[in-house]
Structure 1
């Protein structure tokens, strides 16, 4: 079969199966098998599928995924995350402190957990009712928390950057540290959005916010756990003391101790965190395995290589190629979630970006930002529905979408900055080397 027949056949069959309601991991595997049978017998293809499944579950690098997921679940079920929001809200004595505190808490949470949805759920569960009680506008309250979750996947550690590194065979450490400066710029941009929002719509931000000050012991118990976990992860990886997997393991153990010691975690909460991690990894494990099988079929038929050659034959400017790819991902992100997009499309897209002359570490950061725009765009914007669910009828999905628009503009602006000044993402990794 010709490569384009395989590529179109895989894509068409995959979209058909997803449209019929088949879960994405099973759709990926089912779309791959007919083309696998063209090169292997039925019995051999079953063995190949089993080997791909087993290979994912025993991959040393991938062990970091359940560890970071478990770490995030522990923080979400203890008081560590909510306490961070309360500290930032009560400690920042300015108009709009709850909104700025939400951004800061999401950024702090992002320094220890790489999941956008978990970040929005953990901080939003505490911040949204409090902001509505204080008199903040529904659109601002929901928008800042839905968008704030995106900071969790740009500031290291990031599950999307981790998956990107696995698919593209790039250094996980370099990818993590490349996200630091763009992440800090995004925090600043989100704060500017809140500031401008307060000027344009002053009725959405109350003038006075009644909140009690925290004592020194409370402050230490609030900042200490997040700082300790974040330092273990960053110092261990960037100082070359440990691999990302080893750093995740030590950080997860430290989180267990801190969650019980100062976070008020109960045994029931601990068990819930374990079961939630297993449920998440059950889905992710199948998705990773099916994605590897899908990628194997693509690679065997040389679809990525031939697609890259075809695209380059049009002699387009590298930046035109980049714009087409980004537009493709933003459109696709309206219907698929980021992890699925990563394993379905990246095996074909990243060789094209490399051939166009773009640094793959830099593109990893741009790609991650694009994925975070995807979680804020309907109809399949995960963060939108998380915040709407937390609102318990007080916030509509329209409020959340409208509230996210200025923050999406900030994400787009960050992509423009990265395109104009690639050193924004590449300078820090170069210095670390």
Structure 2
């Protein structure tokens, strides 16, 4: 069987199974199994599947995923996240302080949690009602919070960067370091969007907030936990003291202590965080396992390698190759969520980028930004529906989409900046070697 028959067959079966309503993990597995049986026979294929599925669940590196998810759930169910937003907003004598505070709070939350959806849900659940009460336009407030949640995907630790590192066998520590400067640049771009929006549509942003400033104790309670958790993750990974998995374990333990100690978490909230983590990992675990089977079949038939050779035979310039890949992900992101895209497409795409001469750490940051855009583009933009759900029907999905457009434009501007000045992503990892 030729590689292009296998590639086309996998794609057609995957589309068919998704079209009839199978979830992505089961669709991936179902598309892979006929080719696996053809390779190994029925009995051997079953044993091989069991071994590969089990191998995913006991992978040491992947242990970081449930730990970071659990950490985010704890922060979201305690008062640590809401306190962070209140500190960023309260008593700041700047017009648009609630919008700027939301971006800053999402950035701070992103420094301890790698999930975009959890970031939007945690900060948005507190900030959106406050912004509506203060008189912010629905499009601005929903756009700020939906886009702000994506900062959790770029600012380390990031689950997408973690999965990217696993699939491409790239240093996760280097990827995390490379995401810092682009993440800070994106925060500034988001703030720039709010500033320009206020200048163009002054009625969309209320006058300066005159609420009481936070006391020193409130500042410590609000910022201290996030700072401590972020410091543990950052220093332990970047100084080489701990692996990402060990850093996630220590940070999760510290978060439990802080959530109970200063975050007001009770046993019911702790139990809810555990169950929410198990539900999330139930899906992610199945997706990872199915992705391994899918990848094994493609690798056995050398689909990624042959596709790369075919693509490069057209002698396209590296920048044209990059442009095609970015457009491909922007379109695909309208229909698939980032984790599924990572395990379905990346095994084929990253050898192509490597052959085109691009640094995989640099491409990992560009790839992650396209995944941020994916959660903001309909019809399958997860953050759009999170914010629309948080509004409890007071904001239409069309308003959320419209509000996100300027922020999507700023992400595209960041991609352009990374292409023009690759050192924005590569300088810090190289400086720390």
| Runs of 4+ with >3 A deviation | none
In 2, Cα distance between the equivalents of 1:290 and 1:393?
36
**Residue 361 of structure 1 corresponds to which residue in structure 2?**
361
Q: CA RMSD in A?
A: 0.6
SS in 1 for 2:112: coil
1:102 Cα deviation after fit: 0.2
**Residue 417 of structure 1 corresponds to which residue in structure 2?**
417
In 2, Cα distance between the equivalents of 1:203 and 1:53?
55
Q: TM-score, normalised by structure 1?
A: 0.99
In 2, Cα distance between the equivalents of 1:381 and 1:212?
37
**Residue 188 of structure 2 corresponds to which residue in structure 1?**
188
- 1:176-211 Cα offsets, whole Å, 9 max, x none, are 010000000000000000000000000000013242
Count of matched residue positions in the alignment of Structure 1 and Structure 2:
433
- 1:313-362 Cα offsets, whole Å, 9 max, x none, are 00001010001001111111111000000000000000000000000000
- 1:45-74 Cα offsets, whole Å, 9 max, x none, are 111111111001100000000000000000
1:166 Cα deviation after fit: 0.2
2:432 is equivalent to residue 432 of structure 1: yes
**Residue 104 of structure 1 corresponds to which residue in structure 2?**
104
Residue pairs, 1:215-226, within 5 angstroms: 215-226=215-226
Question: Contact 2:64–2:248 (CA<8 Å) still a contact in 1?
Answer: yes
**Residue 173 of structure 2 corresponds to which residue in structure 1?**
173
**Residue 261 of structure 2 corresponds to which residue in structure 1?**
261
- 1:289-319 Cα offsets, whole Å, 9 max, x none, are 0001100000000000000000000000101
In 1, Cα distance between the equivalents of 2:48 and 2:281?
21
Gaps of 5+ in 1: none
Gaps of 5+ in 2: none
1:212 Cα deviation after fit: 2.5
In 1, Cα distance between the equivalents of 2:19 and 2:326?
23
2:196 is equivalent to residue 163 of structure 1: no
SS in 2 for 1:405: helix
1:255 Cα deviation after fit: 0.2
SS in 2 for 1:38: helix
**Residue 275 of structure 1 corresponds to which residue in structure 2?**
275
Question: Contact 2:93–2:210 (CA<8 Å) still a contact in 1?
Answer: no
Q: TM-score, normalised by structure 2?
A: 0.99
**Residue 384 of structure 2 corresponds to which residue in structure 1?**
384
2:159 is equivalent to residue 152 of structure 1: no
**Residue 206 of structure 1 corresponds to which residue in structure 2?**
206
In 2, Cα distance between the equivalents of 1:46 and 1:317?
43
SS in 2 for 1:206: coil
Query: Structure 1 residues 238 and 91 mapped into 2: Cα distance closer, same or farther (>3 Å)?
Result: farther
2:30 is equivalent to residue 35 of structure 1: no
Query: Structure 1 residues 34 and 100 mapped into 2: Cα distance closer, same or farther (>3 Å)?
Result: same
**Residue 324 of structure 2 corresponds to which residue in structure 1?**
324
**Residue 231 of structure 1 corresponds to which residue in structure 2?**
231
Question: Contact 2:333–2:374 (CA<8 Å) still a contact in 1?
Answer: yes
SS in 2 for 1:379: coil
Question: Contact 2:92–2:213 (CA<8 Å) still a contact in 1?
Answer: no
- 1:350-382 Cα offsets, whole Å, 9 max, x none, are 000000000000000000000010000000000
Question: Contact 2:120–2:146 (CA<8 Å) still a contact in 1?
Answer: yes
1:91 Cα deviation after fit: 4.3
**Residue 123 of structure 1 corresponds to which residue in structure 2?**
123
Query: Structure 1 residues 157 and 201 mapped into 2: Cα distance closer, same or farther (>3 Å)?
Result: same
In 1, Cα distance between the equivalents of 2:103 and 2:220?
20
**Residue 250 of structure 2 corresponds to which residue in structure 1?**
250
In 2, Cα distance between the equivalents of 1:154 and 1:190?
14
In 2, Cα distance between the equivalents of 1:209 and 1:130?
12
In 2, Cα distance between the equivalents of 1:237 and 1:52?
28
**Residue 339 of structure 1 corresponds to which residue in structure 2?**
339
SS in 2 for 1:213: coil
In 2, Cα distance between the equivalents of 1:372 and 1:168?
19
